[in-house]
Structure 1
Amino acid sequence: MIFDGFMIAGAIVCALSVLIGVGSAIWKRYPTDASILSLAAVELFLVVYAIQAGVRQAGGAPIQGAPWEFWGYLVTALFVGVLAGWWGIGEKSRWSNIVMAAAGFTIFVMLYRMQQVWVGTGWI
């Protein structure tokens, strides 16, 4: 499968978010600005990713899989990040760091699947 720059950047941003969330939970800290902002960075990346995907598709770049599947994953990933951030702000326990870290990992998996749908792999 082909990994473009956006997939690599998304993997890095998601990995940092996961590491910050897990690190904060291990050190028994309440959600800090760093863990919440790391999830906000993932959300910002997703917004930029959505814009570039729209521009690419409008420019004629074909999605090899079903377009509704790609856009469905993208919208769902946006909701996952927002809900996890809301949870982290609302519940001031160290376990909310785990929720935010799980959201970062979940969004990474969804990015990987979106890449598969876009370039086509013959898998699934």
Structure 2
Amino acid sequence: MDGYFWAVLTVGLISTLICIGAGARGYGPNDITILSVAAVELTLLVYLAGSIISSATGNGPAGPVWEFWGYLLTALVIPLGAVYWSLVERSRWSNFVLAAVGVTALVMTARMNQIWYGPDLARAAGLMG
């Protein structure tokens, strides 16, 4: 597991907890919940930049390149869709949609690590059976 994974883990879980808390209290989306998802997006953009630099210097994914970039680009689109949803649907339920972003980004980042480092390292890290 690399630092990018841990960054997404930390920011994603904090964002998820903030959004679940707001939804549970009956609040609609607000600056705090939307900015927490923006923090997840920013973390994923840093992941993107690091991946581009690493790939350009010859240290690319050990697994299928198309799959890694597909996961990363999808992970980057999900927060945008959730924020759009929360701006259109201003109910408390939108906070639960926003909460899903952090967990989804975390799962996708774990899969991207499996692809990047290959099955042997992923197995050693406990990511694969």
TM-score w.r.t. the length of structure 2 is 0.90
Please, which runs of 5 or more residues in structure 1 have no aligned partner?
Answer: none
Indicate the residue corresponding to 1:74 in structure 2.
72
Alignment of 1:1-124 (within 5 A): 3-122=1-120, 123=128
Match of 2:125 in 1: none
Following superposition, the deviation at residue 91 of structure 1 comes to 1.0
Provide the rounded CA distance (Å) in 2 between the counterparts of 1:5 and 1:75.
19
CA RMSD of aligned residues (A): 1.2
| Contact 2:19/2:96, CA 8 A, preserved across alignment | yes
Please list every run of at least 4 consecutive aligned residues from structure 1 whose deviation after the TM superposition is greater than 3 angstroms. none
**Runs of 5+ unmatched residues, structure 2:** 121-127
Aligned length: 122
Question: What displacement does 1:6 show?
Answer: 1.1
Counterparts of 2:46 and 2:31, CA distance in 1: 22
Q: CA deviation at 1:62?
A: 3.0
CA shift for structure 1 position 5: 1.1
Q: What secondary structure, in the 3-state scheme, does the structure 1 residue paired with 2:119 have?
A: coil
Q: CA deviation at 1:53?
A: 0.2
